[in-house]
Chain A
Amino acid sequence: MASRLSIDVGTTFTDFLLFDEQSGEVRLLKTPSIAEDPGKGVLDGFDMLLEESGGAPGEIASLNLNGGGIDSLLRRRAMARIGLVVTAGFEQVLHLARGRTPARLNGWAGMAMPVPPASLADTAGVPERMDAAGQVVVPLDEAEARTALQALVASGVDAVAISLLHAYANAAHEKRLREIVGELAPDLPVVISSSTLPEFREYERAVAAVLTAALRPGMERDLERIGTRLRERSAAPSINVMRADGGCMNAEHAAQAPVHAIRTSATGAVTGAAFVAAQAGHPDALALDVGGGGAGVALLRDGRPAMARGGELAGLPLAIPVVAVERDNIGGASVAHVYGGGLLGLGPGSAGGDPGPACFGRGGEQATLTDAHAVLGRLPQGLLGGRLRLDMDAAAEAVGQIARQLNMELQPAAQAIVEMADELLLGSVRRVLARNRRQATGLALVATGGAGPLHANAVARLAGCDPVIVPAAAGAASALGHLHAAPRCEFFRSHGGMLEEAEPGMLVDIYGVLERKGQQWLAAEGVEPGAGQVVFEADLSYGHDGRIVSLSVQPEALGDDGLSDLAARFADVHRRRFGHVVDQPVALVTLRATATASGPSLSHRRYERGDPDASAAIIDQHPAWFDGAFATTDHYARERLRSGHRLHGPAIIVQADATTVLQPGYVADVDSWLNLVIKPEQPGGNRAGRA
């Protein structure tokens, strides 16, 4: 019996999701993450899960894994030492960066300078020069270059990255330098910028080249260890690594391009939400993920996450396609405080995972958002399926300190803290909507993360979203997203000329090259011919500083009137998206080709709808505080809820890794996939601005 395992390595916990292909059922497990050796955490969980499920290791056909290890390597700077080779005169490209300082007056005063991924002391300039059209201005001085490379190699660097000016337009000098390094030190790994992210902008391209070289050994080592240990257990699943664009890639591709594996935990939560939203029949939605340490909000259009170009990690920009997530640092561990003449504040300070909220009983004394929920009676007696017992007295003590400073009673103070979080999350939602020029009307809100379902009902009420969907695997949404990931990779070439002056034949040739790269990539992923496809896009803008719009193109249709059609479509999309057109010539910025394969068609088990009476799922009754008073509130066990059940607010729905609050005046229906679908009891009772 084949099954698929999907794993999300987070900073605190590692989530395991085992999908049985035959029954369509899902089994979940949560274990603490091991920062120093993510692979060990993965293997430990693997063993535990198989022991629980009684399955055999050989039954696991695929293992989808996020790059949590990569993020932590980057953050800890536990990377290889890289020698950087650049065009002479531009040795300080990483040192000067882009010169940007934080976006507030005197923001530089407290700015922590990002440490360049390659030291200026390990950087060598070589005499050579291309111009923007890829023409050689100064030929490569091989004798000088050899001397410089010799010194670099002798200094003991672990690998070499080569990033020359305008190498995206002509890679000849980079390739020649790679050969020379090969002659000097045959075993030394070399990365050239024209093959990692060949986009114009020398700083960003150099960062990508250096990080690729620096992260590769760590990625290779982690994946190899996991593979070896799986083989020891006579398991040989295909291993896939998650990508920041929501797709996945095999282990070999991941080692080649580790920068695509950043921040995939947050990405997975969005792609998981997108799957659930489409499944529940609400493909246009917002995804709200709130964990212990932070929150993310993303827009889902037609069942797919909105994309952005440009990732960032540890202060370094990466010009890669990413799922667009609006991040905020509001989470369960956010600390409440009184400041500025008696104002209540929440965050940005966090109690983190250790000691964590006071109610975790690990010595935390500060009042966190989780403690406020505990005081209001909105949490079960224990989290993680009872493994973490909550110390309600410690929560009351911590929140009581805030209450005394505000000269308030305990519960109103706790309510104020929770509502502060609602307001902050509402801000993230509104920023996402404003960036996309969307209204909340007509959008569902998919809530994930341990704390997302605690706030989703209240946030949706404020924002005007309807309905709220809480997936069955709300606390393991990233793992769900990883399960459904499909191979995806983008290839591109910077262009930079004016559209009207472009030569259609040349564009067709470039797209041809990109297509071949895409097909080769898919083949290496093991995608059957015909099961994958390569789609083409052109990035256009008005002039050289306009907004960039990506339009899909058919290369074969670019001749004749193809270019003027493209210009007309660009104007049309620009007007719709930004409200205007500009009286300027249109520039063709970048040509792109995206190789994709359709995802695994996994049918989750669909349950027949039954009786609405959910009373059999009530496991407890507790007073919980809503709107200024305690009310007896039913606690439901999520795993006992059956399709067709209808719950009436106020209610608390408890599952191992997430708690859902159903507000008074709202009902929750359990749908065929066991999602909770929350709506106002009175139709139309969910307009923006209603308290």
Chain B
Amino acid sequence: MSDFKPHSSSVSLDDLLRANKDQFDRIFSTQMAGGSQAEAPAPGDATAARADATAALNARFGNAWSSEVVEHKNERGLVTVLCRLTVDGVSKMQFGSARANGDAGSALRRATDAALANCAAMFADAPPAAVQTEDARRPEPGRALVPAGTASAPQRRAAPARAVRAAAVLPGRFDVALRNARDEMELVLAGTAMTVPLRDGYGQAALIADAKGRMLAGRFSFDIAGLLEREELSLEPGDVLLLNDPYACGGAVSGLADWLVLMPVYDEDEPVGFTAMRGQVPDAGGPSAGGRAAGAASLFAEGVRIRPLKLFAHGELNHTALQLILGNTRTPTVNRNELMAMVDACQAGAARIGELCRRYGRERYVEACEALLAASNRAMRRLIVDCLSVEPLAFEDVIDDDGLGNGPFRLRLTVWREGEQAYFDWTGTANQAPGPVNFFLNEGLFKQTVAMYLIARSGRAMALNDGIAPLIHVTLPRATLLRPDAPAPLGLAQHAEARSLDVLGGALAHGAPDQATAAGYGGRPWFRYSGRDGNDRPFVLEETLLGGLPGRPAGDGPDGHSQWPHRDGTPTEHLERHFPLRVERRGAVIDSGGAGQHRGGNGVETVYLLQADGELSLQDERRVARPWGLLGGGPGAVSAAWLEGADGEREDLPAKVDGIAVRAGQRLILRTAGGGGWGDPLARDPRRVRDDVVRGLVGAERARERYGVVLHGPGRELDMQATEDLRDSMRRNRRTPPLFAFGGRRESGRGES
């Protein structure tokens, strides 16, 4: 036993200097006991984090580790500790730091954890002892039992087959099996769905969780346990939950036309997990089809709200509830079909979980799922330490307006880490909007998104599951744009959703801009043209707009592509066959992408000649705030839209309009924003600049002014000498470019300030 005795409620640094692994926990528990009444809690739960840090080391290295504090200092509230971690005789030393905020003891703990985490990250990946067999007679790892392929007499191994199999069935295989099951769920839904978003897959998402509700494989994630507890629901075999209220599920669905079913899964009456399916229905009631009323002032104006209810109880369909719900939508038959297809998909997933339980035994299944979560947890700790800064770094951007004349709305995110814990704090984000541009940010999905960004940046793969969740702490102040209070309207959440990704990208770009991308034209801007065609038949055309993608480390931002996954532009020949309009022109807007070593993608201009009277709605963004450039790259141009009468008179349209009247013979011109550029334009290969000029994607003037490239004559011959001279003088005469280039505002058609 140690003779360490705390002499005050806070730990002295000398104590820590002498401290070793055995003493750590006691020091800290004493510290927490003494400090918790008097002192403000540190960000996150320090006790949990502390126990977590030690547990992580124990899990990873068993008893084979020891540690000591080598140096420490406290400078202007920033506590820095140098730790040594020794594992199996190998030592690594690393610094860790934390902000004191008036609590030096807590900061010291967190700094120490950070240092240890940094040390731990230097040891190569190893699975925890828990996943291994406990066969004490096991020979040295990696050593053959019998040389393969020798002609010697075969030896049957004495060890029981079961022990060896336990080693052979690794969590990696379950990751594959569970993702296969997830794919199958999505294909089952796609197979019988009626509507394009579900058939093509972009309007649906599947989830498989363990019995505690933690996502094991899925395209989204949410707090299942919290939902059941809040709603006081206890699920039993044969039950299926249905909901569409974003406020009831922490934003797991984004709006009322986004339905979610949740099914508990049992193996011989023992709960072993959940399957869930999210799917868009074409309409959820309310005054505007599709639940996207631009003028909605509350969720109640956006359609029928479904609080979590048992659609099936003990396998019995609740006809009454279903009829009540469907009766409040415009598309009851389609919605019913899609809903039942979602239930089928959940059942398909449940069947695969059951199969895995039978294949390996339930206990081993549960064990493997735990190991899978633990592996991702370990991988995430390393990513956090390697990719995030202890220094809080903030980034902000805006969405222009809410369509009702309010705005701009700021989104602000501050990111830092303490040890192996990551903090994402949205404090400073604007208050919720009166109009429906609020976006209820789902913490579970946001954490997965963070992981995807860090994976992309580090190039290190990991399984995406809720094993990472305890490491990422999200702060979302209430009554803000990203965490509105019910019943704030949410029907046009896609703008803030897209911008939240820009902001996340910007915040993470601070540490490694060469691995990050600039900002793009947006998420899913769309327009809708409806009316009656020449044969007096009603038509509704709804099209997602394509635009300029961000410049990126991998290359230029593509011109006129989709920033949201899995979206196609609609062929002109399709539009003209089925809708009363003619497309007169479609092409990239020259110079609309920000200049850069990898330039931003150009926005697209499309000219539609309308051939029927009708109504027009438009939901675009990036009309005022430009998509920013990164690392010397310039910002992209803003979007524009206008109507042109047969007489040529031009009527400018705001980015968001709802149901305005249009007449046959009018032209609608839509121009989407360009993407921000990435990297120094003067570093772009002059031949590529010339190539862009020849192809009409960059103007000759801009080639000279922003890229310093001199071209001559109608053949656009490249003058290498003049280019080098011009670039030299430009480099001498400019200030160091800022990390981010936001540009001035309202520079329609031009990508530069």
- Residues of A that sit less than 8 Å from B by CB: 89-92, 95-113, 119-121, 131-132, 137, 165-166, 168, 200-204, 338-345, 374-377, 379, 381, 390, 392, 395-396, 400-401, 403-413, 415-416, 419-420, 423-424, 426-427, 430-431, 434-435, 437, 462, 496, 544-545, 547, 578-580, 582-583, 621-623, 625, 627-632, 688-691
Interface residues of B (CB under 8 A from A): 124-128, 131-132, 138-139, 141-157, 161-162, 164-165, 167-173, 175-177, 179-180, 183-184, 187-188, 191-192, 194, 196, 199, 201-202, 333-334, 337, 341, 348, 354-356, 358-360, 372, 374-380, 382, 449, 452-453, 456, 460-463, 501, 517, 546, 549-550, 552-563, 565-569, 571-574, 576-578, 582, 584-588, 604, 607, 691, 694-697
* Known interface pairs A401-B142, A416-B170, A434-B184; A107-B588 also in contact (CB < 8 Å): no
**What residues of A have a CB within 8 angstroms of the CB of B175 in the complex?**
343
User: Could you tell me if B565 and A102 are in contact, using CB atoms closer than 8 angstroms?
Assistant: yes
A92 and B588 in contact (CB under 8 A), knowing A340-B462, A342-B125?
A: yes
Contact B695 A131 (CB under 8 A): no
User: B179: which A residues are within 8 A, CB to CB?
Assistant: 427
Complex: how many Å from CA A337 to CA B444?
A: 28
Asked whether A419 lies within 8 Å of B173 as measured between CB atoms, the reply is yes
Known: A104-B565, A434-B191, A623-B154. 20 other contacts (CB 8 A): A91-B587, A95-B559, A99-B562, A100-B561, A120-B697, A200-B573, A341-B377, A342-B131, A376-B148, A405-B126, A411-B148, A423-B180, A430-B180, A430-B184, A431-B183, A496-B577, A547-B199, A629-B157, A630-B157, A690-B358
Say yes or no: B567 contacts A200, CB within 8 Å.
Answer: no
Nearest CB in chain B to that of A102: its residue: B565
Quick one: given A131-B576, A200-B573, are A377 and B176 in contact (CB under 8 Å)? no
Q: Is the CB of A341 within 8 A of B172?
A: no
Cβ of A119: which chain B residues have Cβ within 8 Å of it? 695
* Inter-chain contact A121/B694, CB cutoff 8 Å: yes
Which residue of B147, B376, B569, B587 is within 8 Å of A341 (Cβ)? B376
Q: CB distance A98 to B149 under 8 Å?
A: no
Contact between B695 and A628, CB atoms less than 8 A apart: no
A121, B693: Cα distance in complex, Å: 10
Question: Could you tell me if B696 and A120 are in contact, using CB atoms closer than 8 angstroms?
Answer: yes
- Indicate if the CB atoms of A340 and B359 lie closer than 8 Å: no
Contact of B375 among A100, A200, A340, A629 (CB under 8 A): A340
CA distance A490 to B562 in the complex (A): 33
Find B562's partner among A100, A427, A632 (CB 8 Å cutoff).
A100
CA distance A423 to B131 in the complex (A): 20
| A629-B152 in contact given A342-B128, A343-B372, A544-B578 (Cβ < 8 Å) | no
- What separation, in Å, do the CA atoms of A342 and B460 have in the docked complex? 12
Given contacts A96-B560, A339-B462, contact A431 B187 (CB under 8 A): yes
Closest to A418 in B: B168
Is A409 a contact partner of B142 (Cβ separation < 8 A)?
yes
Classify the secondary structure of B's interface with A. Answer: mixed
Cβ B375 vs Cβ A415 within 8 A = no
- Evaluate contact between A627 and B359: CB separation under 8 angstroms: no
* Chain B residues within an 8 Å CB radius of A121: 691, 694-695
Return chain B residues, CB-CB under 8 Å to A375. 144, 148
**Given A119-B695, A392-B149, A420-B173: A411 touches B144 (CB 8 Å cut-off):** yes
Q: Which residues of A contact B565 (CB under 8 A)?
A: 101-107
Q: Is the CB of A689 within 8 A of B355?
A: yes
Quote the shortest CB–CB distance from A135 to chain B (angstroms): 11
Q: Which residue in A102, A132, A410, A544 is a CB contact (below 8 Å) of B143? A: A410
Name B455's closest neighbour in chain A (CB-CB).
Answer: A340
A203 engages B149 (CB within 8 Å): no
Q: Who on chain B is nearest to A688 by CB? A: B355
Q: Which residues does chain A contribute within 8 Å of B355, judged by CB atoms?
A: 688-689
- Within the complex, the shortest CB–CB distance from B177 to chain A, in Å, comes to 6
Q: Can you sample 29 A-B contacts with CB below 8 Å?
A: A92-B560, A95-B588, A100-B561, A101-B562, A102-B566, A106-B565, A109-B550, A120-B695, A121-B695, A341-B378, A342-B375, A343-B175, A344-B172, A344-B173, A374-B148, A390-B149, A404-B141, A408-B132, A409-B139, A409-B144, A410-B142, A412-B168, A415-B168, A416-B173, A435-B191, A496-B577, A579-B191, A622-B151, A630-B154
Shortest distance between the CB of A489 and any CB in chain B (Å): 24
Expressed in whole angstroms, the Cα–Cα distance for A340 and B588 within the complex equals 41
**Judging by beta carbons under 8 Å apart, are B172 and A345 in contact?**
yes
> In the complex, what distance in Å separates the CA atom of A121 from the CA atom of B362?
62
How far is B549's CA from A473's CA once the two chains are assembled, in angstroms? 49
Contact: B588 with A96, CB < 8 Å? yes
Which residue of the partner chain B has the closest CB to A633?
A: B154
**What is the minimal beta-carbon distance from A3 to any residue of chain B, in angstroms?**
39
